[in-house]
Chain A
Amino acid sequence: MSSRKKVTTGLRKRQTINIEMNVTTETTEKYLNLYTENIGKIKGGSTAFINSFREPAIKKFDELGIPTRKNEAYKYTNLDIFFKNDYHSYFIPGKDDYIKAEEFRCDVAGLDTHGIVLINGFYPTLNGKLRELPGGIWIGSLNEAARKFGSLVEEHYGKYAKSDSDGLIHLNTAMASDGVFVYVPDGAVLKKPVQVVNLVDSGEDIFNQHRNLILVGKNAEFNLIICDHTLSPQKFLTNAVTEVHVGENSHFDLVRVQNEHNNACKITHTFIHQEANSVVSSNNITLHGGLVRNSTYHYLGGEGAETNSFGLFLADKWQHVDNFVNVEHASPNCKSDQLFKGVLDDMSTGAFNGRIYVAQDSQGTLAYQRNNNILLTDDAKMDSKPQLEIYADDVKCSHGATVGQLDDDALFYLQSRGINKREAKLMLMFGFAHEVIQNIKVEALRDRMDGLVMQRLRGELSRCAFCLVKCG
């Protein structure tokens, strides 16, 4: 659909939704208690500035609560299953954890990165929690950075992760202990990506929250890979918030690879704030996980900015994967492109919520969105919802969503060349997934993702190094 008229759906009812949501359920109470019990320990590691956000945030969380399905943005995702479980909160890593994280080596062949390994949201390395890379780039602990680069952190922390409807963002602000900080100064170009490996490993069911702050200056170039792994089969709940600020004329590339087990619930909220003529690409590849919810908020805050939001998930058994994307065109002549795909097997479920908001003065906007899904069984279910709110006149906007089976004509075409039906189906599914994978710019990672996706489609477990969990 090419549109010059105003199209309005969905989220405009936000105000009323807030009222409906304003019910502190029993589950919400549990997390408020967790806060009260642990806030002393949490505050101990952070600076006064970061701690100053905690009290207002927990109040906001108390007000909004854990999102229920009455919240339009969580309409298709029932968080209760995972949130009602009793989790231990994890605040002090043990010695064994340090060793495990130190020994961790990513097994992607030929992938050359600057690595950071976090265990349950903590830096296991006592020394060098914050380190300098060529070009004056700093990576490491947010807590350390808040001490070393106080004014930088104060300029950006908490500025982008804002929400009037999602209590989980506030829960993170209230309780997150640490996370990754990246500072790329003006003009710095780092070709070699930084890779953050988030390991979750514990003998107990644990709840952990990461808080990341990524600052990319002007005329800079930076690639970030975030890998999420679970190492033990306990129930895990992760609620992560990442704030990204990308300066004028800069390029920022984010790839997130999620490979967790069926008892793990992973919730991520990523806020990317772009200045003029910056180019951003975000790619969420969900290979495995019990419940995964990725919210990505793109804010085009300067003229000529371009943002690309990609995502792919493969789900089976009772897995549920929900991608929520919000693209806000707040400046003229910006371009956005969303491409999200899902392959759903068994009785798995998925959701896609893609919102495009074009402000009144954002003339010359180009905004595209595509969501394609393949259901491999009759029991699998996918909900796809585009939401377009356009208040400018000079806008080119298109969206399309499909939920279906493999294309019979394509299947026959492959078979007619001598390829058996099973193999032909695999090729089609692989091709379907590859359209998202091909956007990964780091070649070694792209090849590995192709390989893992193929393994996964063949029904083998696509496992990364160190994974001891038998999810079969």
Chain B
Amino acid sequence: MLIIKDLKAGIEGKAILKGISLEVKPGEIHAIMGPNGSGKSTLASVLVGRELVEVTEGSVTYFGKNLLEMSPEDRSKEGIFLGFQYPIEIPGVSMVNFMKTAVNEHRKHKGLEPLSASDFLKLMREKKELVEIDSKLANRSVNEGYSGGEKKKNEIFQMAMLEPKLAILDETDSGLDIDALRIVANGVNKLRRPDNSTIVITHYQRLLDYIVPDIVHVMYDGRLVKTAGKELALELEEKGYDWIKKEADNKY
């Protein structure tokens, strides 16, 4: 579904991604781990079309289409979803209005009629239960005054509403206590379907106890320096990143 080939990208002329190649097949869960500043979030930004990041080389193909030519909104409508590391607070825009607009844009893209007000509210209720989100949150402005945990739950709630084919979860575990982590992970697991894929970006192994990956990559200095099965995550937890850094520094 997603093929990244030798991707190089940077911000304001500074090279951050130095040649990433990665293939995600339907149904797979990939974990991308790595120390801070290795380029994990930049990769996520490239995949969702953040203008800030400039792609200098390489290609990204999504279901056979050139992803890099698509607008952020079209990527979303084609099934890509990013769970933000730092969800944005938007005062004055209600969650209901936000999600209604988004869901109906997705439906329009698929040639479906917009949802009626009552069908939409029914859908909201169902999905809210899935992530155990406080029903009052939905009546508030987007992320405004939410706690860290509520913000992350809200990301998963939006994911549930939009039912993406490829979900990218950027440091979804950061700032979560163990209960919130469990709720968020359960939400992600419940949303899994055989044809859906997930890229979990994380610094710690902790989240991977709940969302079990098929493949674990380690990113360091803009490159995927190691790829293995889920046991790699445990090894990293035990030994830290230093040995990987050393290996990589010798190689490049």
- Mark A residues whose CB is within 8 Å of B: 407, 409-410, 412-421, 423-424, 427-428, 430-435, 438
Contacts and interface: CB of A to CB of B under 8 A. Distances in A.
Given A417-B76, A419-B105, 12 more contacts: A414-B98, A415-B71, A416-B73, A416-B76, A418-B105, A420-B105, A421-B73, A423-B101, A430-B92, A431-B93, A433-B92, A438-B92
Given A418-B76, A418-B77, A413 B88 contact: yes
Contacts of B77: 418
B141 to A, nearest CB: 7
A432 B50 contact: no
Smallest CB-CB A-B distances: 9 pairs: A431-B92, A418-B76, A431-B93, A434-B92, A417-B102, A415-B72, A413-B88, A418-B105, A418-B77
Given A413-B84, A413-B87, A427-B98, A419 B92 contact: no
Contacts of B93: 414, 427-428, 430-431, 434
Given A416-B48, A428-B93, A409 B88 contact: yes
B88 A415 contact: no
A174 B47 CA distance: 68
B82, B84, B101: most-surrounded residue (chain A CB, <10 A): B101
A428 B90 contact: yes
Nearest to A435: B92
Contacts of B97: 427
A424 B87 CA distance: 16
Contact residues on B (Cβ < 8 Å of other chain), bracket = 20 to 34
A413 B90 contact: yes
A63 B72 CA distance: 62
A414 B141 CA distance: 13
Interface of B: 48-51, 71-73, 75-77, 81-82, 84, 87-88, 90-93, 97-98, 101-102, 105-106, 109, 141-142, 158, 162
A409 B45 CA distance: 12
Nearest to A341: B92
Nearest to A409: B88
A415, A417, A431, A438: most-surrounded residue (chain B CB, <10 A): A417
Given A417-B158, A417-B162, A419-B101, A412 B92 contact: no
A60 B162 CA distance: 66
A431 B105 contact: no
Contacts of B75: 416
Contacts of B51: 412
A438 B91 CA distance: 11
26 contacts: A409-B88, A410-B88, A412-B51, A413-B84, A414-B90, A414-B93, A415-B73, A416-B72, A416-B73, A416-B75, A416-B76, A417-B102, A417-B162, A418-B73, A418-B76, A418-B102, A418-B109, A420-B71, A421-B73, A423-B101, A424-B73, A430-B92, A431-B93, A431-B141, A432-B92, A433-B92
A418 B141 contact: no
Contact of B90 (A420, A421, A431): A431
Contacts of A424: 73
A437 to B, nearest CB: 9
Contacts of A409: 88
